Amino acid sequence: MILYGLKACDTCRKARKALPGADFVDVREDGMTDDVRRAALDRFGTELLNTRSTTWRGLSDAERAAPPEELLAAHPALMKRPLIVAGDDMYLGWTPQVRQALGAD
């Protein structure tokens, strides 16, 4: 299992604590492979973009109009967190439904 997020994110910290065996990838420092980003976009679409983030608010209207894949490649912190890859399954966020599906409740 791999958690993609930011090490300074409180939600990612909670997920890491609840899933101690999972590998963690800080998307700001380590990045995310194009394959994982595309698969996440295919699965979650624009829901993958955190449009309430400080990073989003700092973008110009022209930058916000870019395709989501380009935005996430240029600004990894725009991704909603955590993105959890468990085998063939992907989960977004640390909601009660995600925790239950991963047995971390």
The CATH number of whichever domain residue 49 belongs to comes to: 3.40.30.10
In a domain, 20, yes or no: yes
Q: How far is CA 60 from CA 2, 22, 39, 64, 87, in A?
A: 32, 36, 27, 6, 37
In a domain, 105, yes or no: no
9 among known catalytic residues:
yes
Please give the angle made by the CA atoms of 10, 16 and 20, to the nearest 5 degrees.
Answer: 160
Q: Is the pLDDT of residue 105 over 80?
A: no
In a domain, 80, yes or no: yes
List residues bridging with 49 in a β-sheet. Answer: 79
Among candidate residues 17, 86, 51, the one with its CA nearest the CA of residue 98 = 86
**Taking residues 32-45, what's their average pLDDT?**
95
Structural domain including 29 reads 2-92
In a domain, 40, yes or no: yes
Greatest Cα-to-Cα distance within the chain, rounded to the nearest angstrom: 42
Q: Is the pLDDT of residue 6 over 90?
A: yes
What does the pLDDT look like over 59-96, one tens digit per residue?
A: 999 999 999 999 999 999 999 999 999 999 999 999 99
Q: Is the pLDDT of residue 8 over 90?
A: yes
What is the structure's pLDDT at 104? Answer: 85
Which one is catalytic: 3, 6, 9, 71?
Answer: 9
Q: Is the pLDDT of residue 14 over 80?
A: yes
In a domain, 99, yes or no: no
Number of domains in the chain: 1
